[in-house]
Amino acid sequence: MEMSEQERNQILLDKYFYYEVFRMRESFFAFKHRLWDSLLVDFLVHVRILHEFFYGSKIGEKKKRAHADNYIEGYKVDVPFKDFEEHWNRQMNDYTFHLSFFRVEGINREYKYRFYSIDDFYKHFGNLVIEFLNKLPEDYKVGSKLKELLEILKEEIE
């Protein structure tokens, strides 16, 4: 028997969305406690997935991926400042996905884009999750771990 769109969406929220936020939190706090190595990349991979969830769209090719507007009709996140995408993508790529001199020189070198600390990333995406979960229809929250996640994030971020 084929599952309904509601059932599919519920599974994605309860299992996979929850996992991405949980892993973002776990790697953030491990990183803050100086367990460096792969934690920065781990943290930013989950931030990048959440970025696509919130800033992406279900239109066109991306309709196979889940986005916030699959759960809240017309949901749209405003970018925090002009050229956000350019700055954000540049830094994400320099941090994690390229062999760049940024990794060697860090913030001591002057860059033409705004530098984000991991605290900035965590606070920004944590606030997006809080806003999203507050607006999420109740039928998605019933029997899931999302209410607990919302309370944890509120304590940590607000």
Instruction: Copy the structure tokens of residue 142.
Output: 């019933």
Nearest Cα neighbor of 128 from 68, 62, 42 is 68
110-138 pLDDT, tens digit per residue, is 555 555 677 888 888 999 999 999 999 98
pLDDT per position as a tens digit, 42-77? 777 888 888 889 987 655 555 678 899 889 988 888
Distance CA 69, CA 67 (A): 5
